[in-house]
Structure 1
Amino acid sequence: MHYYVEITCLPDEGVSVAFIMGKVMDVLHLALVNLQQQVGRNPVGIGFPAYVYREDDTGEVEAAQMGGKIRLFSRDQAHLEALNLKQQLERLADYVHIRGISEIDRPNLAFASFQRVQPKSSKERLIRRKAKHTGQTEAVVREQFASFEEQRTHLPFVHMHSHSSTQAFRLFIEKQVAEPVEDWQFSSYGLNGRVPVPDF
């Protein structure tokens, strides 16, 4: 059995849905980290029912958007209750609508996985990171990256903020149609490319 909560981001004058989505996802990430610490894993997955990514026959992107809805899924209603979403999202109350926990009772339910994609897009950041982790000088590491080509993606994304470094970043997300699996655990963002959630 699956249970879910749906959060709808409500645009307001001067406040875009994308901005609200980022704020909501920041809060959800912290809530999922706390849940993960309590139960030893994250048993709540996230889906984006209004997600759209489409390319034409030549590979050009026709549409790419996250949409304004987030669904949190769990096989145990208690895990969704433990997130205490109304309280967690209280400061965003004017910008979100949270539906109560619902049980999914649909025949022929479709599933899709949502996974984070991290393009290697910043050569300088990668050089700094490798230098820090290996103890090599940046000059030595820069030589190793001489032939590096930065990657780009046009996947839909959510603007997020790192809670450890306060740096802003884009959480790129890829959706894949998939068959359900028995394993049921997710990253602290509620994502897992191998574990699909209901898609409706």
Structure 2
Amino acid sequence: MNFYQEITLIPDAEISPYFLWSKVYTQLHIALADIKNKHGIDGIGVCFPNYCYKEKNGKTFATLGTKLRIFAQTADELEKLALPVWFARLIDYVHLTSVKEVPNKATEYVVVRRYRGKSLERKVKDYAKYKGIGYDEAMAYCQKNKATSEMPYPYVQMKSLHNGNDYHLSILQEPAEQPKLGSFNAYGMNNISNHVTVPHWIN
């Protein structure tokens, strides 16, 4: 990945960053789907420079921070993505940089995945099989332990463009030992089993 653009949420006392992330990522999701449909480009990936997910003293700290970087192999791909057009209505709430070369200080890499946990139905069946117990007993156990079994990764609240349902776009970002090129989904991320990387550095 040789080029990038950076989006920074502008603090606003009247608008929560969660609401802004929802608006920003909806637009980015549409833009990534559009560029794949029009130009066949699926090598654009993202990372969150200030991402944090850690446990301390029995508590979980999870945040996306306020920045998002969008990476591509070429400047032309980012020009075709046309982020200034997609974010025109959010200009008062976000700062978008021009297309830049990835700096020399970007010596680390991360894998960014969309985390999709198992459905309750799948968990119940797997637990029943694992323990050799009945479905009802497995259901009772899984419902009782549902709160502790879910991974509280940082997420963006999204609304399906197909059916209008709300859903969480849970995001898992982890360090990678070496770079790996490949394709990304329409969120600019890996699916859970992929390991395609993007550069990472902290300002």
Give the TM-score category using the shorter length: 0.7 to 0.9
Cα offsets for 1:125-180 (capped at 9, x unmatched):
x7xxxxxxxxxxxxxxxx96862424412111111111111111111111111034
1:68 counterpart = 2:62: no
What RMSD in Å do the two structures reach over aligned CA positions?
A: 2.3
Shift of 1:122: 5.1
Could you tell me how far apart the structure 2 residues matched to 1:196 and 1:29 are? 19
Paired AA for residue 138 in structure 2 = S
Structure 1 residue 90, shift from structure 2 partner? 0.8
Q: Could you tell me the TM-score, scaled by structure 1's length?
A: 0.82
- Give the C-alpha shift of residue 118 in structure 1: 1.3
Conserved in 2, the CA contact under 8 Å of 1:6 and 1:99?
Answer: yes
Which residues of 2 match residues 156-195 of structure 1 at below 5 A?
A: 156-192=154-190, 193-195=194-196
8 Å CA contact 1:179, 1:196 repeated in 2: no
Answer whether contact 1:180 1:197 (CA < 8 A) is retained: no
Q: Give the 3 Å change call, closer, same or farther, for CA 120–145 of structure 1 in structure 2.
A: farther
Q: 1 CA distance for matches of 2:10 and 2:67?
A: 9
1:120, distance to aligned residue in structure 2 (A):
2.9
Return the alpha-carbon distance in structure 1 between the equivalents of residues 136 and 4 of structure 2.
45
Q: What is the 5 A alignment of 1:77-116?
A: 77-106=75-104, 109-116=107-114
Shift of 1:183: 2.7
Shift of 1:69: 0.6
Amino acid at match of 1:187: N
Q: Percent identity?
A: 31
- Asked if the contact 1:9–1:68 (Cα under 8 Å) also holds between the matched residues in 2, the reply is yes
Q: Offset at 1:181?
A: 3.7
| Structure 2 residue 13 is the aligned partner of structure 1 residue 13 | yes
The answer on whether the counterparts of 1:18 and 1:68 sit within 8 Å (CA) in structure 2 is no
Q: Is 1:198 aligned to residue 189 of structure 2?
A: no
Would you say 1:22 and 2:18 are equivalent positions? Answer: no
Alpha-carbon displacement from aligned partner over 1:71-126 (angstroms, at most 9, x marks no partner): 00001111111111111111111100001111013156100011011123555xx7
User: Contact 2:180/2:197 (CA < 8 Å) preserved in 1?
Assistant: no
Greater alpha carbon shift after TM alignment, 11-20 vs 72-81: 11-20
Cα distance in 2 between the residues matched to 1:185 and 1:177: 18
State how far apart, in whole Å, the 2-side matches of 1:47 and 1:92 are: 20
CA distance in structure 2 between the partners assigned to 1:79 and 1:144 by the alignment: 50
Question: Unpaired runs of 5+ in structure 1?
Answer: 127-142
Cross-structure match for 2:131: none
TM-score (norm 2): 0.80
